[in-house]
Amino acid sequence: MKTKNIILIPIILVALLTGCKKFLEEKSDKKLAVPETLDDLQALLNNNNLYNIVDPYSGEVSAGDFYLTDTDLNGITSQPDQRLYTWEKDHLYSPAALGNDWLYLYTLVYLSNSILEKMEKIDRTAQNAAQFDNIKGQACFNRGKAYYNALQLWSVAYNKATAVKDRGIVLRESTDFNIPSKRSTVEEGYSTVVADLTAASRLLPLPPLHPSRPARQAAFGYLARVFLAMGIYDKAYAYADSCIAIKGTLLDYNTLSAAKTYPIDRFNTEVVYECFANNPSIMSNIRAKIVQELYNMYAADDLRKQLFFKNNSNGTYGWRGGYAASQGIFPGVVIDEQYLIRAECEARSGDVPAALRDLNALLVKRYKTGTFKPLTAGSAAEALGLVLDERRKELPFRNLRWSDIKRLNVEGAKINLARVANGITYTLPANDPRFALEIPEEIIERSGIDQNIR
């Protein structure tokens, strides 16, 4: 194996072999067990451990919506997580052998490429066309999603004026480990993401078989998210609108019980596509406290204040958990996000009535029945401010805040982050180079690619 290789083959093979035990056991010789048919490939795609729980957590640790006491921070056994928390320049990731965001995302890329390469050897016929297209669409969706998440962590925010020269991520379009890895530009990275997700939107079926498997609506929702991150608001609007048009039912929070440990049910009516991020110990709700600034944004009659957060009975609040029906990070595609994307794009285009219509349609489902007073705005700028406030309140711990901070700072928002730990104030000023996280050192050593500016 050449050293110009980013993915650690042994770990990927272990994931493949242990994650597909049932499929492999059907083979007479496990050493020869490789997916060959469309059914084989779909069996591989059905493995949630390989596709649905590999989203990154680094951005959420870095985004600043929670804090730890010194005692809790010093008790964390993961030094990389501690360093992510205080926005250090280096040593942000555990070795790949222990698992890290780079490994998980590029394993997803490798698996997607493996499926797409296998499909080149399978004929598409009238009889298998639906299954063929669905499988190819899933592979394109998963690869596009992995690349998008990688861009949020290891590249600067998309800036139309500089994207053609800004350093982006590694794009691996083949499983051939002899092809040297190199960094693309940010423009090339986003173009690849858009191409993959657009292909997925044309190939995937309209009705999803299950929220854990992507369908056309999920591709539309993800494209809306991507174009929002790029600041291409007309396209973000179009895809959010298309996503909502397929099924845009909002969950009425008045029907939820705050007495439940996790009040929001899994697979509820708003969930379009379910996926998870590994929840690091630093974000455990017995440690992580919600920053007061965020908690104070919610009005007394806003049901999210009770449903999202738990009272620690000591003047602090923890995260109860959202759409995962657990305390973890939920980065899946959900209808509430699509309403907020559409509202933001409407406000930016100057269509204040439409922006307020979407925003109020969401918020009436979030306040105690009979207490919500529709929001008004005298200008597009005021409407945009309202939407951005509600975006932050509606979408905590959904792997969106880090991306939002980066894109809004490109537009001049001047969002500066600060945390105090062990008597030291750590800061991350707007547009600081550290918003593009350090690429794991072992990847730099193995591949020879350029490290991000520190």
pLDDT at site 21: 39
Q: Are the CB atoms for 174 and 116 separated by under 8 Å?
A: no
pLDDT at site 328: 86
Structural domain of 243: 9-256+329-447
Q: Is residue 193 part of a domain?
A: yes
Q: Is residue 157 part of a domain?
A: yes
- Give the whole-angstrom CA distance, residue 419 versus residue 7: 34
Would you give per-residue pLDDT tens digits along the chain (454 residues)?
344 444 444 344 333 333 343 433 444 344 435 688 999 999 999 999 999 999 999 999 999 999 999 999 999 999 999 999 999 999 999 998 889 999 999 999 999 999 999 999 999 999 999 999 999 999 999 999 999 999 999 999 999 999 999 999 999 999 998 899 999 999 999 999 999 999 999 999 998 889 999 999 999 999 999 999 999 999 999 999 999 999 999 999 999 999 999 999 999 999 999 999 988 999 998 999 999 999 999 999 999 999 999 999 999 999 998 898 888 899 999 999 999 999 999 999 999 999 999 999 999 999 999 999 999 999 999 999 999 999 999 999 999 999 999 999 999 999 999 999 999 999 999 999 999 999 999 999 999 999 999 9
Distance, CA of 451 to chain centre: 23
- Report the CATH number at residue 407: 1.25.40.390
Helix/strand number for the chain, H first, E second: 19, 10
Number of domains in the chain: 1
The set of residues, in sequence order, having a beta carbon less than 8 Å from that of 190 and lying 6+ positions away, is 151, 158, 163, 168, 226, 230
- Give the whole-angstrom CA distance, residue 100 versus residue 37: 31
| CA distances to 24, 152, 340, 345 from 357, in Å | 52, 30, 11, 13
Q: Is residue 162 part of a domain?
A: yes
- Give the whole-angstrom CA distance, residue 405 versus residue 417: 10
Q: Is residue 311 part of a domain?
A: no
Q: Is residue 261 part of a domain?
A: no
- Give the whole-angstrom CA distance, residue 433 versus residue 437: 8
Q: Is residue 292 part of a domain?
A: no
User: Of all helices (H) and strands (E), which one includes residue 189?
Assistant: helix 186-203
Q: Are the CB atoms for 184 and 196 separated by under 8 Å?
A: no
Q: Are the CB atoms for 105 and 93 separated by under 8 Å?
A: no
Neighbours of 301 (CB within 10 A): 14
pTM score: 0.93
Q: Is residue 419 part of a domain?
A: yes
Q: Is residue 317 part of a domain?
A: no
